[in-house]
Structure 1
Amino acid sequence: MRIAVLSDIHGNIHALESVEKDLRERNVDRIFCLGDIINFGAHPKAVLDWVKTNCDIVIKGENDIFVADPGEVVLSNPFAIKAADWTYDQLDSGDFEYINSLENFYEEPEFILTHDEPSIPGTYHFLTSLRDARETFTCFDNLFCLYGHTHLQILFVKEQDGTVRAEKVDSYRFNGSQQFLISAGSVGQPRDKDPRAGYLIIDTEDRLIQFRRIEYDVEKAASDILNAGLPEVFAHILKMRKG
């Protein structure tokens, strides 16, 4: 089975449409969405509708919660708050009901899905360090724990002897004695200075983990943000490059 894992789309329909095309070419069987579907980008309604229609499992992130019911979560970033006010006006009561119906955690025998810190969902801790990974591995027995929120693609591997390491690779072939803690990256707002949309594919039959990066019209996405009157910072982030 091929499972696609999308996270942190952030209202970027241009990135999502390019990812959708890649998904069709990869013949995926299931699609998981790890939250932060909306906010920051200029097309929250279109992105939310796509997620409703196409994703098999959907959990919510703090930006989704803040837009639909700001009393449930605190955002301290003034740009995120301004964007959330604008995003709220683009959605309707049915959208808010849908977001509020989502959980922030999902589990099945092989997978745990969460938006942020897997050991305590809702803390919105950025799990990026090997030290944090070692602690988090003690909290689950599933083969895969998948999370978002970092806007980075990160792979931690735990061997049968308890050794934990980070793998800086685009793809990784696994065996049945390992466990994995994986940050899927961001479709709509990558933060690694690679402007391409990022997502994850796990092939359980071929035992392959693959981080995907997809080109899309970054300039159009940034222009739409500026034309909507959203904070310029979210347009600038899209165009950041290494070097």
Structure 2
Amino acid sequence: MKLALITDLHANREAVQAVLDHAKAAGAQRYAFLGDYVGYGADPGWVIDTVREYVAAGAIAVNGNHDAGCVQDISPNMRPEARQVVEWTRAQLNPEQLAFLAERPMSHTEGDMLFVHANAFAPAEWEYIQGRIEAVRSLHATTCHYTFCGHMHEPKLFHLSGTGKAGDFVPTPGVPIPVPPHRQWLIVPGSAGQPRDGNPAACYAMFDLREQTLSFQRVPYDHELAAAKIRAAGLPERLADRLAHGQ
């Protein structure tokens, strides 16, 4: 089975549609969405409805920090820009869409796989996996051999051997990587809706369970249209500008 791993969609309809089309053409048989369906982009309702359709067909979908922010009280410490986006997003969503966000679990375990937005050691605290230290802490928090998470908007792969030796590397798009289960693996697919590694192309990853291989993918999309929608919605200009630069 081929499992498409998509995270940090961030209300970017153009990017999400491009990723879903690419994954389907690549033979995806199931989908896992790792959170942050809203925030930053101008199409939160469309993205939520699309993910809902996939969940109804058997997809996995967990909670993200931006999703939680839309259905909980806004933190007084939230930056004005982020507060503006949350308030705008709430006003765009209907009760069914808000309920879908509120119902998302913090994590999902299936067989030898853990799906979570931020990390395995404290999912609800939204701490980032910025390097090996956090990755090893996350891998130590689960017995699963495969942990899939988002939150970090850059694609990365971490691994931990049975002797405790850790490693990490930035994957080359489109190149299958053997991920045998005698190691633990932590996979960060990168952001579909707002990449931040200097490449504006949308990110996702494909896990081939039968072959035990993982491939990271980059998918070009119409980021100029996505940016134009952000500007038309009256959202902060910086959110539109960054799409063209992948930052």
TM-score (norm 2): 0.93
* Amino acid corresponding to residue 221 of structure 1 in structure 2: A
Matched with 2:160 is 158
Offset at residue 74 of structure 1 (A): 6.7
Pair 1:111 & 2:116 matched: no
Give the structure 2 partner of residue 15 of structure 1: 15
| Partner of residue 65 from structure 2, selected from 55, 62, 65 | 62
Distance (whole Å) between structure 2 residues aligned to residue 153 and residue 144 of structure 1: 15
User: 1:14-59, CA deviations, whole angstroms, 9 ceiling, x for partnerless residues?
Assistant: 0011111101111111100111001110111111110000141111
What residue number does 1:203 align with? 208
CA distance in 1, matches of 2:68, 2:170: 32
Q: Residue 152 and residue 29 in structure 1: after superposition, are their counterparts in 2 closer, same or farther (change >3 A)? A: same
What is the Cα deviation at residue 117 of structure 1? 2.3
Report matched runs for 1:1-243 at 5 Å: 1-55=1-55, 56-70=59-73, 76-170=78-172, 171-240=176-245
Question: How far apart, in 2, do the equivalents of 1:52 and 1:75 lie?
Answer: 31
Stretches of structure 2 lacking an aligned partner (at least 5 in a row): none
The one-letter amino acid paired with 2:70 is V
1:10 & 1:80 partners in 2: Cα distance?
13
Task: Measure, in 2, the Cα distance between the counterparts of 1:74 and 1:95.
Answer: 24
TM-score of the two chains, using structure 1 as the length reference? 0.94
Runs (4+) of structure 1 moved beyond 4 Å?
none
- Judging changes above 3 Å, is the alpha-carbon distance between structure 1 residues 174 and 83 closer, same or farther for their aligned structure 2 residues? same
- The 8 Å contact of residues 128 and 134 in structure 2, kept in 1 or not, is answered as no
Q: Percent identity?
A: 27
Show CA shifts across 1:114-164 (max 9, x none). Answer: 111221111111102112222222111111111111111110011232211
Q: For residue 179 of structure 1, report the CA deviation from its aligned partner.
A: 1.1
1:196 alignment partner AA: A
Deviation per residue, 1:165-200 (Å, 9 max, x gap): 002222411223111011121000111111000011
Q: Give 3-state SS (helix, strand or coil) of 2:40's partner.
A: coil
Q: Supply the RMSD in Å over aligned alpha carbons.
A: 1.5
